[in-house]
Structure 1
Amino acid sequence: MPTIFAAGKTITCDRGDNLRRVLLRQGIDLYNGKASVINCRGIGSCGTCAVAVEGRVSEANWRDRTRRSLPPHDPQRPLRLACQTQVLGDVRVTKFDGFWGQGTEPVWTAESQ
């Protein structure tokens, strides 16, 4: 079973589980500010669940790549949409500031909330 390290928590999940669903089930605040109210609920169109992920996850699908290619995201940044990411092994997750999580200052890291 893969282990996810996020917001100071250690979470185990099944291989292939959706990263967004796992984080939300554990009470991890995945959205910044009002994004918690107006996000797309996991269909990959808003981009507000963007996080940095280190570890084994699925390849970015077309929804993930397309949304992150549009402003305010930068396609050169190594972020992923949690809603479009399946956990395949142990991962470390970091959430950044900015409405879409596109900022440069960590809101939370794998180790700290």
Structure 2
Amino acid sequence: MPTIQALGKTIECDQGANLRQVLLNAGIELYNGKAKLINCRGIGTCGTCAVAVDGEVSPPNWRDKTRRSLPPHSPAKNLRLACQTEVLGDLKVTKYDGFWGQGERILWTPDAPSPQDSTT
């Protein structure tokens, strides 16, 4: 079973599991600010569940590629939409600031929350 490291937690999941669902089920806050209330609930249209992923995941599908090609995202930034990503092996996940998770400041890492972060 693959393991996911995020926000200081290590979570086991089935191979092929949806990254968004695994993180949310583990109690990991995936959305920043008002995106907690206003998001597409996993259909890949809003882009608020963007995370940096280190490890083996499915290739980006057309929804992931399309949404990340539109501002404020950039295809040049190494992010993925958690809702459109299947876990294929062990992962380390990092979340950035900004409504869409597109910012430069790290909110949480695989190991823990960022020291300068008091709220997500």
Q: Is TM (by shorter chain) over 0.5?
A: yes
Separation in structure 2 between the aligned mates of residue 77 and residue 18 of structure 1, nearest angstrom: 21
Q: TM-score, normalised by structure 1?
A: 0.99
Which residue of the partner structure matches residue 18 of structure 2?
A: 18
**Which consecutive residues of structure 1, in runs of 5 or more, have no partner in the other structure?**
none
Which residue of the partner structure matches residue 75 of structure 1?
A: 75
Which residue of the partner structure matches residue 40 of structure 1?
A: 40
Q: Could you tell me how far 1:60 is from its partner in structure 2?
A: 0.2
Q: Provide Cα deviations, 1:41-76, integer angstroms capped at 9, x if missing partner.
A: 000000000000000000000000000000000110
Give the 3-state SS of the residue equivalent to 1:31 in structure 2: coil
Which residue of the partner structure matches residue 31 of structure 1?
A: 31
Separation in structure 1 between the aligned mates of residue 38 and residue 97 of structure 2, nearest angstrom: 17
Letter in 1 for 2:40: C
Aligned pairs for 1:1-113 (under 5 A) are 1-113=1-113
**Which consecutive residues of structure 2, in runs of 5 or more, have no partner in the other structure?**
114-120
Separation in structure 2 between the aligned mates of residue 26 and residue 91 of structure 1, nearest angstrom: 15
Q: TM-score, normalised by structure 2?
A: 0.93
Separation in structure 2 between the aligned mates of residue 11 and residue 41 of structure 1, nearest angstrom: 21
Letter in 1 for 2:107: V
Separation in structure 2 between the aligned mates of residue 60 and residue 2 of structure 1, nearest angstrom: 19
Separation in structure 1 between the aligned mates of residue 99 and residue 8 of structure 2, nearest angstrom: 22
Letter in 2 for 1:110: P
Separation in structure 1 between the aligned mates of residue 64 and residue 74 of structure 2, nearest angstrom: 12
Which residue of the partner structure matches residue 118 of structure 2?
A: none
Q: Could you tell me how far 1:80 is from its partner in structure 2?
A: 0.0
Q: Percent identity?
A: 71
Letter in 1 for 2:80: R
